[in-house]
Amino acid sequence: MLQQPILPEHGLFIDGAYVPATSGRTFQKISPVSGRVIATVHEAGRDDVDRAVRAAKAALSGPWGKMSVAERAGLLQDLSQAINARFDDFLEAEIADTGKPRSLARLVDIPRGGANFATFADMIKNLGAEFFETATPDGGRAINYGVHRPKGVIAVISPWNLPLLLMTWKVGPALACGNTVVVKPSEITPHTATLLGEVMNAVGIPKGVYNVIHGFGPNSAGEFLTQHPLVDGITFTGETRTGEAIMKQAAIGLRDISFELGGKNAAIVFADADLDKAVAGTMQSVFSNCGQVCLGTERVYVERPVYEEFVSRLKGAAEGLVLGGPDTQGVSMGPLVSEEHRDKVLSYYRLAEEEGATVVTGGGVPQFGDERDGGFFIQPTIWTDLADTSPIIREEIFGPCCHIRPFDSEEEVIALANDSDYGLCSAIWTENLSRAHRVAPQIEVGLVWVNSWFLRDLRTAFGGSKKSGIGREGGEHSLEFYTERANICVKL
Ligand code: NAD
N- to C-terminal Cα separation, the chain: 56
pLDDT at 9: 87
Give me the residues paired with residue 323 across strands: 333
pLDDT at 7: 67
Going through 97-184 in order, the beta strands assigned E by DSSP cover 131-135, 141-150, 153-157, 180-184
Mutate to test the pocket of ligand 1, among 237, 242, 292 (most ligand atoms within 8 A of CB): 242
Reported confidence tier of residue 6, pLDDT bands at 50, 70, 90: low
- The catalytically annotated residue of 177, 290, 294, 402 is 294
Give me the residues paired with residue 132 across strands: 144
Give the residue whose CA is nearest to atom 32 of ligand 1: 239
Give the residue whose CA is nearest to atom 34 of ligand 1: 262
The CA 246 to ligand 1 mean position distance, Å, reads: 10
Distances (CA, A) of 274 to 155, 224, 279, 404, 424: 44, 51, 9, 18, 24
| Superfamily the domain 265-457 falls into | Aldehyde Dehydrogenase; Chain A, domain 2 (3.40.309.10)
Q: Could you tell me which residues come within 8 angstroms of residue 176 by beta carbon, excluding any fewer than 6 positions away?
A: 72, 73, 76, 117, 120, 121, 123, 124, 479, 482
- The minimum-distance atom of ligand 1 relative to the CA of 249 is 19
Mutate to test the pocket of ligand 1, among 292, 294, 466, 481 (most ligand atoms within 8 A of CB): 294
Instruction: State mean pLDDT over 466-471.
Output: 98
Distances (CA, A) of 24 to 47, 54, 221: 11, 20, 13
Question: Rounded distance, CA 39 to CA 28, Å?
Answer: 6
Give me the residues paired with residue 359 across strands: 383
Give me the residues paired with residue 8 across strands: none
Q: Could you tell me which residues come within 8 angstroms of residue 324 by beta carbon, excluding any fewer than 6 positions away?
A: 101, 330, 331, 333, 334, 372
Q: Is position 177 annotated as part of the catalytic site?
A: no
- The catalytically annotated residue of 260, 303, 396, 473 is 260
Answer whether CATH 1.10.630.10 is correct for domain 9-261+468-491: no
Question: Rounded distance, CA 268 to CA 258, Å?
Answer: 29
Exposure pattern of 429-438 as b/e (b: 16+ CB <10 Å)? bbeeeeebee
**Ranges 141-145, 220-224, 252-256: which has the least confidence:** 252-256
**Ranges 3-17, 197-211, 307-321: which has the least confidence:** 3-17
Reported confidence tier of residue 8, pLDDT bands at 50, 70, 90: confident
**Ranges 126-130, 223-227, 318-322: which has the least confidence:** 126-130
Instruction: State mean pLDDT over 305-318.
Output: 98
Instruction: For 110-143, write each residue's pLDDT tens digit.
Output: 999 999 999 999 999 999 889 999 999 999 999 9
- The minimum-distance atom of ligand 1 relative to the CA of 462 is 40
Reported confidence tier of residue 2, pLDDT bands at 50, 70, 90: very low
pLDDT exceeding 90 applies to what percent of the chain?
Answer: 97
The CA 291 to ligand 1 mean position distance, Å, reads: 15
Q: Could you tell me which residues come within 8 angstroms of residue 244 by beta carbon, excluding any fewer than 6 positions away?
A: none
Instruction: State mean pLDDT over 77-97.
Output: 97
Instruction: For 170-204, write each residue's pLDDT tens digit.
Output: 999 999 999 999 999 999 999 999 999 999 999 99
Exposure pattern of 303-323 as b/e (b: 16+ CB <10 Å)? beebbeebbebbbebbeebeb
Give the residue whose CA is nearest to atom 35 of ligand 1: 238
The CA 76 to ligand 1 mean position distance, Å, reads: 26
Average pLDDT over the chain reads 96
The CA 248 to ligand 1 mean position distance, Å, reads: 15
Question: Rounded distance, CA 310 to CA 35, Å?
Answer: 36
Give me the residues paired with residue 12 across strands: 19
9-261+468-491 and 265-457 share one fold? no
Residue 72 has pLDDT above 60, yes or no: yes
Spatial contact of 99 and 33, defined as CB atoms under 8 Å apart: yes
Beta-carbon-side half-sphere exposure of residue 366 (alpha carbons within 13 Å): 23
Reported confidence tier of residue 371, pLDDT bands at 50, 70, 90: confident
Handedness of CA 448, 162, 323, 87 (dihedral sign): positive
Instruction: For 262-303, write each residue's pLDDT tens digit.
Output: 999 999 999 999 999 999 999 999 999 999 999 999 999 999
CB atoms inside a 10 Å sphere around CB 55: 23
Q: Tell me phi and psi for residue 472, to 5 degrees.
A: -130, 145
Question: Rounded distance, CA 80 to CA 380, Å?
Answer: 35
- The minimum-distance atom of ligand 1 relative to the CA of 246 is 19
Q: Is position 260 annotated as part of the catalytic site?
A: yes
pLDDT at 214: 98
Q: What does the domain layout of the chain look like in residue ranges?
A: 9-261+468-491, 265-457
pLDDT at 77: 98
pLDDT at 3: 41
The CA 239 to ligand 1 mean position distance, Å, reads: 4
Question: Rounded distance, CA 238 to CA 229, Å?
Answer: 22
Beta-carbon-side half-sphere exposure of residue 272 (alpha carbons within 13 Å): 9
Mutate to test the pocket of ligand 1, among 154, 157, 456 (most ligand atoms within 8 A of CB): 157
Question: Rounded distance, CA 17 to CA 15, Å?
Answer: 6
